[in-house]
């Protein structure tokens, strides 16, 4: 599994559904560079079980992300037409109607490969000339926090049965923005309003003595 933290987030142009209803052919994270932070997350499949709980949880907290100048973007290996259908299916019927943040279609699986969250890989048989896929052709639950310069500052990848914490994602956004603004570092379980530290032995000793 690649570690992308500290590196430029891989860019792409791909179909997506935006605002819950509109299909666009060329969606890119590049539009946010210099303007917004990005929470870019992958999920395995449309019309499944854990996935809608995560997507609806992000939607429920969307205003909190927007207050922090963060764009939330989802992605799976389904087509844009599958996304559109799911987005226009009512919740009681297994849909995610009401979700307004962009959902990217990675039908070619190249975005998932570039972020190294694809749950399998292609292999090539030189004798037969055939390419086969080993594993599952869907994405793990990868999440990437990208700063305004397009650099990945945090990533987490869960196996498919394990849903993520939207509150933890917000906490990481707060920590990143605090560090950028104040030049201090955030200790374990830091939350907005808690004490932070400067990078010195004296600061660390003082913090540990008081906690």
Let me know whether 29 and 77 are in one domain.
Answer: yes
The Cα–Cα gap between 114 and 11 comes to 9
Residue 122 is predicted with a pLDDT of: 79
Q: What is the pTM of this model?
A: 0.91
117: left (phi over 0), alpha (psi -120 to 50) or beta: alpha
CATH of the domain at 139: 3.40.30.10
Is residue 202 predicted with pLDDT exceeding 80?
A: no
Q: Which of 93, 100, 90 is nearest to 21 (CA)?
A: 100
The Cα–Cα gap between 182 and 170 comes to 18
C-beta of residue 91 within 8 angstroms of C-beta of residue 99: no
Q: Which domain holds residue 197?
A: 165-211
The Cα–Cα gap between 145 and 172 comes to 8
Residue 211 is predicted with a pLDDT of: 55
Is residue 207 predicted with pLDDT exceeding 80?
A: no
Rounded percentage of the chain residues whose pLDDT exceeds 90? 76
* β-bridge pairing 22-27 and 37-42: unpaired
- Report how many domains make up the chain: 2
Q: In this structure, is residue 71 part of a structural domain?
A: yes
C-beta of residue 123 within 8 angstroms of C-beta of residue 38: no
* Residues annotated catalytic, as ranges: 51
Let me know whether 139 and 174 are in one domain.
Answer: no
Q: In this structure, is residue 183 part of a structural domain?
A: yes
Q: In this structure, is residue 177 part of a structural domain?
A: yes
Let me know whether 33 and 132 are in one domain.
Answer: yes
Residue 69 is predicted with a pLDDT of: 98
Q: In this structure, is residue 5 part of a structural domain?
A: no
Q: Which helix (H) or strand (E) segment is 172 a member of?
A: helix 166-182
Higher pLDDT, 206 or 182: 182
């Amino acid at each position: 599994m690649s570690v992308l933290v500290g590196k430029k987030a891989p860019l792409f142009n791909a179909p997506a559904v935006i605002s819950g209803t509109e299909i666009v052919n060329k969606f890119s994270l590049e539009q946010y560079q210099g303007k917004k932070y990005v929470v870019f997350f992958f999920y395995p499949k449309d019309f499944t079980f854990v996935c809608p709980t995560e997507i609806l949880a992000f939607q429920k907290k969307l205003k909190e992300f927007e207050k922090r100048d963060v764009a939330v973007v989802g992605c799976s290996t389904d087509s844009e037409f599958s996304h559109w259908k799911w987005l226009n299916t009512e919740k009681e019927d297994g849909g995610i109607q009401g979700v307004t943040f962009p959902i990217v279609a990675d039908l070619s699986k190249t975005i998932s490969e570039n972020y190294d969250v694809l749950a399998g890989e292609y292999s090539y048989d030189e004798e037969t000339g055939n390419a086969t896929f080993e594993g599952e052709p869907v994405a793990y639950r990868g999440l990437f926090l990208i700063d305004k310069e397009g650099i990945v500052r945090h990533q987490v990848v869960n196996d498919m049965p394990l849903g993520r914490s939207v509150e933890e994602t917000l906490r990481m956004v707060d920590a990143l923005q605090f560090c950028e603004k104040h030049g201090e570092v955030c200790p374990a379980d830091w939350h907005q309003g808690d004490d932070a530290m400067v990078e010195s032995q004296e600061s660390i000793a003082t913090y540990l003595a008081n906690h």
